[in-house]
Amino acid sequence: MMGLNRRKIYTYTLTDLLGPLNDVEEKYAPKELYVAGDLPIPLPKPRSAVIGSRKASPKALETARQITSTLVQKEVIIVSGLAKGIDTVAHKTTIEEGGDTVAVLGTPLDKYYPKENAQLQDSIMNNHLAISQFPINYPIQPRNFVIRNRTMALISDISIIVEAKDSSGSLHQGWEALRLGRPLFIWESIVKDASLSWPKKMLEYGAMILTDPEEVLDYLPSNQGILKLIQ
């Protein structure tokens, strides 16, 4: 443990955070997670990732707000990656509406990326939960964000892609969610975008089209079910 942003950093396993894992989850789980924040461990509520493009359209940003707001009202923990665009909106909306959010970082907890989210990261580390699989002083590398997206799929009960181009990092999380057998939702407007090739491919492998945020609730475990699992 060490002091950082007025909080201590703790080391946990994914089992510590989520409860028992199956064989596939165990295989792909990082050995250690570095955690700072104020949420109870194990996490006591269902978790939904809300993710998407860093350079999101205004319409997609508003959609992310609506999805996040709906889920927060249903006591769902919002998971995202603290990147620009969709991730930032997901975290900020959750905080503004009094919900709980988890940021899964592609950097160590002592680094800020992007730098303009430093205040948001500090807020999450002090009042919510920030998670990294990279130890303090670990170098920032592009591949770390791909690894982070795969870990975020493990942490999330479901994943929702709001908007993403064919080269978006969010697609790594989408494919990982499908490989794990976790529900993956794609917002309807990007499914209809003929310029994108990835939505059709993911739908063929079991992803689902999302037209109303409340549609995901049937795919999330109940609070009572999670509490039984982690007790």
Q: How far is Cα 50 from Cα 34, in angstroms, rounded to an integer?
A: 21
pLDDT, tens digit, 9 for 90 and up, residues 112-151: 999 999 999 999 999 999 999 999 999 989 899 999 999 9
Handedness of CA 80, 74, 180, 230 (dihedral sign): positive
The answer to whether residue 34 scores a pLDDT higher than 90 is yes
* pLDDT(224) > 80: no
Radius of gyration of the chain (CA): 16
Looking up residue 121, the CATH number of its domain turns out to be: 3.40.50.450
Question: Residue 173 in contact with residue 51, Cβ under 8 Å?
Answer: yes
Domain that holds residue 43: 3-230
Total structural domains within the chain: 1
Which residue is listed with tokens 């894992």? Answer: 21
Q: Are strands 33-37 and 77-80 parallel, antiparallel or unpaired?
A: unpaired
In angstroms, the CA 128 to CA 102 distance is 6
Tens of pLDDT, residues 153-170:
999 999 999 999 999 999
